[in-house]
Structure 1
Amino acid sequence: MAYNNGQTMTLNGPGGHKIKVRLEVNSKARRLILRLDERRREAVAIAPTRRQIKDAAAFAAERVDWISSRLQHLPEIVSFEEGSIISYRGKPCRLTAEGDGRLARMIPGDIPTLCAPGDPETLDQRALRYLKKQARADITRAVKRHAATLGVEYKGISVKDTRSRWGSCTADGQLSFSWRLIMAPADVLDYVAAHECAHLLEMNHSPRFWAHVATCCPDWKRLRAWLRTHGMELQAAGT
């Protein structure tokens, strides 16, 4: 059977339920890779070259039980809709379209409320705009602070909805971050900012790189562990 880049195949999982696997080619991959796309609720089999797509498909088929187990343990999707409870800077926050005015704002309380007045059908769009704006502000402050500590300069900051990385740094100093970090505790966001600023000195994960991270964020190991444990919960919100 011929397979193509971007194709989705269906495997039979335990109990006969269907499991979707998306096939992708990534020239940066050094080997066959199998990961989960938490938001699409499917697996992704990655091949280094087009010639190895068939091998990636077989690689996924051999691990269908593992895929099934991981998918069953994914956190529930939390939609951005009236009454939903999401995480904001690591704490619960309720969403509502009710309220006066036109601008989204945070209302204090035992459980703070993100009030984004308007049509309930488009609450998700207004809430997302608010969260992205706050994410950019928090990330920019953190990057400026860490860049000053390390004595480095960056070209720019962008906030995106990345699936596999919380942050990235290009060779020319362009930093990119996931807006979903605004849902994590503030010190976790701060760690990711420190991580990417350290890449402005070391484009690797060598001991020297981690020493730079530690200069900005001494508790980085605990914060990295938090992100690895709870990252899927952030990816499951607003999908």
Structure 2
Amino acid sequence: MPTINFNEQNIHYTLRLDKRRKNIQLRVLPTATVEIIAPGKLTSAEIEHIFTAKSRWLTGRLNKLSSLAANPVNQQLVSGAQLLYKGEPHTLTVLSGNSKPEVVLKPAEVIVKLPINNTEAAPVFMTEQIVKAWLIDQAGKLFLDKTKDWAAVIGVRPVRITIKDQKTRWGSCSSLGNINYNWRIIMAPPRVADYLIIHELCHMLVPNHSVKFWEQVSRFSPDYQECRKWLTDNGKLLSRIL
């Protein structure tokens, strides 16, 4: 894989040709590899120019990846690891010998009880399945109650509320009044969860992202810009596991 010296470090990059494109696009992959998507072949000089022109953007993306890699939260699901829940890191404790799968929430701790006699012999996916099912269940309870509360405040009536497993969207509201939430938001701070609920409910008033829409959002979530920034800065952290 070719490399380029960028900000005094060697960065791997790939070049993917797409004749349908009119412009050059850059993507920073989770591996810190830069993918260049171009309509035709590029010379080494042209690639260097692209890196120079996008220097500020690339530096920001690479720094975020570096910070994410250094953050111990949501790295893995084993005893002693850190799991984000409602915006706070919780230490994960995995125990064996329980009659059935169970998750117990304590202050700053999430205890996972496995239906197996030896935690070392338990496959990792067993812990992952139990934790994911618990988080989805917690998200369902939280979002159902909060959506009803905020709907009454905003003055709308959603038809259906669904918890979904999505990697790229936090929520959505259909023209029929059906609202979907990404269960991973259960890991975000409560004020961010409230913002997302308000955001989707306000789409029942204004079905677009016009100035009028954001005016409605700001009525009920004055700090919505800070919440949006939190999701932008921490979105990959929420999706890193499960």
- On whether the aligned pair clears a TM of 0.5, the verdict is yes
Paired residue for 1:105?
103
User: In the alignment, is the contact (CA less than 8 A) between 1:168 and 1:177 conserved in 2?
Assistant: yes
Structure 1 residues without counterparts, runs of 5 or longer:
1-9, 25-30, 47-52
**Aligned CA distance change for structure 1 residues 117 and 11 (closer, same or farther; 3 Å):** same
Deviations 1:68-126 (A, max 9, x none): 762453102612233211111111112233053423222424x3223242435221121
Q: Secondary structure at the match of 1:153?
A: coil
Instruction: Write out aligned runs for 1:1-239 (5 A).
Output: 12-14=3-5, 15-19=9-13, 34=26, 36=28, 38=30, 54=39, 62-63=50-51, 66-67=57-58, 70-71=61-62, 73-74=64-65, 75-76=68-69, 78-99=75-96, 100-109=98-107, 111-118=108-115, 119-122=122-125, 123-156=127-160, 157-163=162-168, 165-236=169-240, 238=241
Greater RCO (CA < 8 Å, at least 6 residues apart): 1
**Aligned CA distance change for structure 1 residues 200 and 23 (closer, same or farther; 3 Å):** farther
Q: Which runs of 4+ in 1 moved over 4 A?
A: 20-24, 31-38, 40-46, 57-61, 63-69
Structure 2 residues without counterparts, runs of 5 or longer:
116-121
In structure 2, C-alpha distance between the alignment counterparts of 1:60 and 1:124, rounded to whole Å:
41
Structure 1 counterpart of 2:110, one-letter code: T
Larger Rg: 2
Structure 2 counterpart of 1:140, one-letter code: L
Structure 2 counterpart of 1:104, one-letter code: E
In structure 1, C-alpha distance between the alignment counterparts of 2:35 and 2:154, rounded to whole Å:
37
What's the CA shift for 1:182?
0.9
Normalising by structure 2, report the TM-score.
0.71
Deviations 1:202-224 (A, max 9, x none): 12222321232233323323322
In structure 1, C-alpha distance between the alignment counterparts of 2:201 and 2:213, rounded to whole Å:
10
Q: Secondary structure at the match of 1:106?
A: strand
